[in-house]
Amino acid sequence: MAFLDFVSVVSILAAVVAAPFMLVGWSNMLVRPKERGIPVKSSLAFVGPVVIGLLCAGISTYVGQYRLAEFLDSASPHCTVSIDGRVAPNPAEVLDALRSIGDLPAHHSSPGSIFEVVISDPPRRFALWVARDSSDPREYWVFFPSPSKLAFRAALKTDIGHVKTSVFDGYGS
């Protein structure tokens, strides 16, 4: 997963670098269409990284969902859940809420402040970031912390889904 996140970040950077060349190529072609052909190289230099970045981001999301589901399915009933460093009084409810992660229809909102959810089932540990939705107080965004140092420094998070619950009320800002 670190490799996928790294490739996503590098693809974004490559697309940003290629964008001006593509724009200049297309503007030159529009100004003098008979002298210049379609700017294939600069277009491919932009579109290629965008497609690769989107594919890697999508695959990374599915890998994160799979890892969470696998961990939750094998978690013992005695595991502990801490939210923002405090032990949750209702770990079974938190685990049930996380099991219901899925995709929700887009409604032009964004995640709010992020808090950390750590599931500890010794010797294993699983960390997630959760953020309340900006428009629906019962909806939470769930992020998989990126193992890639480059993506972490760029503050990129892998959105693995959303959950509607009240179990996280009282956490975060």
Burial class (CB in 10 A: 0-12, 13-18, 19+), 151: buried
pLDDT band at 170; cut points 50, 70, 90: confident
Say how far apart CA 140 and CA 132 lie, in whole Å.
4
Q: Calculate mean pLDDT across residues 134-154.
A: 74
Confidence (pTM): 0.76
Q: What is the pLDDT of residue 48?
A: 96
Q: What is the pLDDT of residue 172?
A: 65
150 has a pLDDT exceeding 60: no
Q: Where are the domains of the chain?
A: 2-164
Say how far apart CA 150 and CA 117 lie, in whole Å.
22
Which residues have a Cβ under 8 Å from the Cβ of 100 and sit 6 or more positions away?
163, 164, 165
Q: Calculate mean pLDDT across residues 1-10.
A: 79
pLDDT band at 152; cut points 50, 70, 90: low
143 has a pLDDT exceeding 90: no
Q: What is the pLDDT of residue 10?
A: 87
Q: What is the pLDDT of residue 46?
A: 95
Q: What is the pLDDT of residues 105-127, one digit of tens each?
A: 777 888 888 888 999 998 999 99
Q: Calculate mean pLDDT across residues 83-103.
A: 89
